[in-house]
Amino acid sequence: MIQALMALTMAAAPAAPKAACGDLAGFAVEAPRIGLPTRGARVTAALADPAGVCVVKGAIAPVDPAAPPINFQINLPAAWNGKAVQVGGGGYDGFLVSGRDPAFLPKDREPVARGYATFGSDSGHVGGGGDPRGAVGDAAFALNEEAWINFGHAQIKKTRDVAVAVMARFYGTGPRRLYFYGNSQGGHEGLIAAQRFPADYDGVVAIHPAYNFTALQLSGLNLAKHLYAPGAWLSPAKTRLIGDAVVARCDGLDGLADGVVSNVAACRAVFDVRALLCPGGADADGCLSTAQVEAAIAISRPTRFGMEISGADTFGGWPILDGAFGKGSFFGLGFRPVPGKPPTGQDAFGFLMADQGVRYMMARDPAFDSLTFEPTQHRAAVARSAEITDASSADLDRFRARGGKLLLMHGTVDMAIPPSNSIAYYQRLSTRYGAALPGFLRFYIAPGFGHGDGPFPVSWNSLEALDQWVETGRAPGAQTVVDASPDGGGRTRPLCEFPRWPRYDGKGDPSRADSFACAD
């Protein structure tokens, strides 16, 4: 350990650039330096910002002239710590990831300000107008095979290789450590890095990852089919009714009534949504109709596909009965319906994403009616989508063998990607690796954290924990997270390793993490 700390100290001396920032403009990375097929890459702009960071932008040329380029941004600090962080995207990507302010890291821990070179891309397409509310980019790009494969996995490797070449040109050497950091689709991309390109990465932070992308979209489709059954639509008032009822029944099961349901298992044992049934089962204010109760129960249960998709024939239930619609939740089942139009599949987020995946990646037909899609009738198309986009493999042997470390985290009230999804992946890894798993992976569950929302939206210094693990071999245990909401007052909580959860001690300051202990 002493030798590791000495090596860390010696390696921490900042490295100075060997070239002027402006001299990078026009720099070309030839195709043979990129590990997957391209026609090379070129830097189109390189300008130093007021903080002295050289901001580099450019594009990677596709093999197919009809495919879009992969646009990238690389941020090169003047005082470089010799390390780099690739930052993932979100949704269907299609926007340039700057890499300057990754979500859920403390604001005073921006990687570039701490000496990391950072980079990201648009994944090889620019988002379009498929969603009139602008919530996610459309997936029409996937009708071009190369663009689809770039989004599905190839852009990770291509962008990484170009960034390393640019760093070598600027600093005279490539990074001695390279990490991947991402959430949602970006977390999925982190698992792509670990599974498909393990020789390139020393560590990964994956927060609520959409790793089994194909099954996620089909589960969203299933969710929509339940929601749009006659009389089953759950309006914002109805989802809030459910959320308030869950919190009222379950909030104190962790020892503290604070709006956060931490003891989810106990909550599931005592809360029954059927208690909200309207008299006679007809819809009315302040209660749920029979159809709405049935929809809520169905959505909370696993989706069964009737076939295997990326190694599993089910997808975990959504946390609608676990406190997902309590205070602070905005990422619910639906968007505001279009004025003058009754709710349709276009108004539910789960279907909004699924509709794109089904039409452009599975049916391969922009005019296809997604609500009629049955996976068992399109087995080959579903398998092809999974082959290109999914990162569901439990085989992390190569990543582990090179010393790679993985931090995986999910929130209990995520209604964009349910926490049961990450739990299922962790359980598959546990089956494969047994007692060896904690040697390279730690999995955390954050009560009250949604997809950036919820009663306890977290700020977590995960990159520093990962870096210390890689550099010193000191494995992280229970972490501490901060409530990042404007009215959270900076309260802190333990971030416990699954399946543990934070229990209040009954006497300490409820705003401090040391007043809680991780309980079984």
Burial class of residue 479 in the structure, from the number of CB atoms within 10 Å of its CB (0-12 exposed, 13-18 middle, 19+ buried): buried
Helices (H), 112-212: 145-149, 155-171, 185-196
Mutual orientation of helices 213-227 and 349-357 as an angle, nearest 10°?
130
Query: Distance from CA of residue 17 to its chain's centroid?
Result: 33
The torsion defined by the Cα of 351, 355, 357 and 359, in degrees rounded to 10, comes to 160
Query: Measuring CA to CA, how many Å separate 318 from each of 321, 334, 339, 381?
Result: 8, 14, 28, 25
Nearest to 111 by CA among 178, 170, 171: 178
Residues composing the chain: 520
- Determine phi and psi for 369, rounding to 5 degrees: -85, 105
For this structure, is 520 an active site residue? no
For this structure, is 369 an active site residue? no
- Please tell me which residue in 125, 188, 410, 451 is annotated as part of the active site: 451
CA distance 354 to 414: 17
Nearest to 445 by CA among 458, 435, 433: 458
- Please tell me which residue in 121, 123, 125, 184 is annotated as part of the active site: 184
Strand segments, DSSP code E, in 248-370 are 303-309, 312-315
For this structure, is 254 an active site residue? no
Query: Measuring CA to CA, how many Å separate 179 from each of 160, 227, 351, 442?
Result: 10, 40, 33, 16
- Please tell me which residue in 254, 258, 390, 414 is annotated as part of the active site: 414
Residues catalogued as catalytic: 184, 414, 451
